[in-house]
Chain A
Amino acid sequence: MTRYTNSYVAGAALGIVLFLSYVLTGHGLGASGGIQRIAATGVKAVAPEHVDRTPQWAAIAGGDANPLNHWLVWAVVGVALGGLASGLLGKRVRIQTLAGPNVSRRTRWMMALIGGLLVGYAARMARGCTSGQALSGGAVLALGSWLFMFMVFAGGYAVAYPFRRFWN
């Protein structure tokens, strides 16, 4: 297993990629919007009437619209492939459950499910996650994105103590 890249070097590379994204596409990077579109495809397959009635679903998947026909979906696929490529290069790819030293695998998977539900819901409420809001919006000085970013840290630090046994 190879060591991770220095944080400042990785951060600078990230900043350059984000800048190039603004120059070449006019927008930043995103992740949760792509996940939402993949989810919309599932919802539409099961309950198309519900998609047409719900404004948030209708906006991306209503009527004849194909929710997958959007750059965000391609970007999410790219993120997964890029992460896999980096993991393979660094010989870090293996099937494992990464957990704190004092939690069982089962607890860790429950935490992932509950945390994921919260993150997914919150990202749609805020119209973006740490990629689309905090990182991309932060770099172009969007006020709401900076508020979002500080609230993410506030939320995490606020519950870090009660959940300390999960990670330490």
Chain B
Amino acid sequence: MAPFDPTTLGAVSAGLVALAFGFAFGFILERAGFGDSRKLAGQFYLNDMTVLKVMFTGIVVAMVLVFLSSSLHLLDFEKVWVNPTHLWPQFVGGLLLGVGFLIGGY
């Protein structure tokens, strides 16, 4: 049952799987307009909502599919990596990252 562990296929195969996912990720983000810092910064001046639309659509679609497949016993959620909670680092880190995002544009 999923999730599968690509490292059982060997280091090179696991690397290629990661490369393929990275490729798809980068391809979609560029096609959505995330290559343009002005579009990304526009989110913070409310004149371009691309960031919000793409990110939250992505989160909601993935979330529904993950928990649906988990409740159908197609995906073992116990074996899925869930980011551990470290409230203060995530609070302060998020704030700083937001400031850096606005200044740097990415």
B71 sits at the interface (CB 8 A)? no
Identify which of residues 102-150 in chain A touch chain B, using a CB-to-CB cut-off of 8 Å: 111-145, 147-150
Contact digits for B11-41, partner A, Cβ 8 Å, 1 yes 0 no: 1001111111111111111111101111001
Residues of A in contact with B, size category: 35 or more
Residues of B within 8 A of A84 (CB): 26, 30
- Asked whether A19 and B61 contact (CB < 8 A) given A11-B55, A26-B80, A74-B18, the answer is yes
Q: Of B27, B55, B85, B104, which contacts A144 at CB under 8 A?
A: B85
**Contact across chains for B18 and A25 when beta carbons are under 8 A apart:** yes
Q: Chain B contact residues: over half helix, strand or loop, or mixed?
A: helix
**Contact across chains for B22 and A77 when beta carbons are under 8 A apart:** yes
Q: Of A24, A26, A28, A163, which contacts B102 at CB under 8 A?
A: A163
Identify which of residues 2-41 in chain A touch chain B, using a CB-to-CB cut-off of 8 Å: 4-5, 7-8, 10-29
A1–B96 alpha-carbon span in the complex (Å)? 34
Residues of B in contact with A, size category: 35 or more
**Contact across chains for B79 and A26 when beta carbons are under 8 A apart:** yes
9 A-B pairs with least C-beta separation: A115-B104, A78-B22, A155-B98, A11-B57, A15-B61, A126-B93, A151-B94, A118-B100, A82-B26
**Chain A interface residues toward B at CB < 8 A:** 4-5, 7-8, 10-29, 69, 71-72, 74-87, 90, 92, 98-100, 111-145, 147-160, 163-164, 166-168
* 27 A-B interface contacts by CB (under 8 A): A4-B33, A12-B61, A17-B25, A24-B2, A71-B14, A74-B19, A75-B22, A79-B23, A86-B30, A90-B30, A92-B30, A111-B105, A123-B97, A125-B89, A127-B90, A131-B25, A139-B59, A149-B94, A151-B91, A151-B94, A152-B95, A154-B94, A155-B97, A155-B99, A166-B103, A167-B41, A167-B105
